[in-house]
Amino acid sequence: MLPTPIRIKFTKTGALQFISHLDLNRTMKTVMIRAKIPIHYSEGFNPHPKMVFALPLSIGAESVCELLDIKIDFEMTSYEIISRLNGALPPEMRVLEAYIPETKFTDIKFAEYDITADAPVDCTPLDAESVFVMKRTKTGEKECDIKPMINRYEPIPGGIRCVLSATSTDYLNPEYIASVLGLTDYSIMRRRVLISDGVTEFR
């Protein structure tokens, strides 16, 4: 019997916004064992659970739409998977959905964020034809125009909601938006991941 692919949608909020992607990976491996999820392991001398995360989240950002793909060796209902995982997870991390995926993570093109602050947020710097920032790259820092990577934005109470490019080659960290807006004390919440039209939620 072939292993069954399962996609898990979960939250990462509160104090857990400060754990790294590596720590999250370790945590989920431990949780899978504790929750008795029959996760599929790789073969070879050093077998490890087959787990793939979409869009690793920056430390200090929260999310209500984290995605994890696993494979399980025995059939389980969505209810069983959600119930078992939530029984083993802390309150700041809740599994919202578990389902068989029909898409690939490469189909993710955008992510929607809320950036909020205590002080009023002026969005007008994003209205310029070009928006330059010093962007970190593998070879160091270089000045980049991030305007093409901003799909849209709108003011919300206490902040801004923006849809940003989230592909493997053009991923825009929302911290750059906060920097352009001159924010120093702010919160970031990833609300949705989207497909190529920038509107439809990825599943």
Those residues of the chain that have pLDDT short of 50 are none
Q: Where are the domains of the chain?
A: 4-102, 107-194
CB atoms within 10 A of CB 15: 9
CATH code for the domain defined by 4-102 = 3.30.70.580
pLDDT of residue 2: 83
pLDDT of residue 106: 94
Q: What is the pLDDT of residues 108-123, one digit of tens each?
A: 999 999 999 988 889 9
pTM for this structure?
0.92
pLDDT of residue 140: 78
pLDDT of residue 43: 81
pLDDT of residue 147: 96
Positive or negative, the Cα torsion across 36, 18, 142, 196? positive
pLDDT of residue 135: 80
Instruction: Give, as one character, the DSSP assignment of residue 154.
Output: E
Instruction: Write down the number of H helices and E strands in the chain.
Output: 3, 10
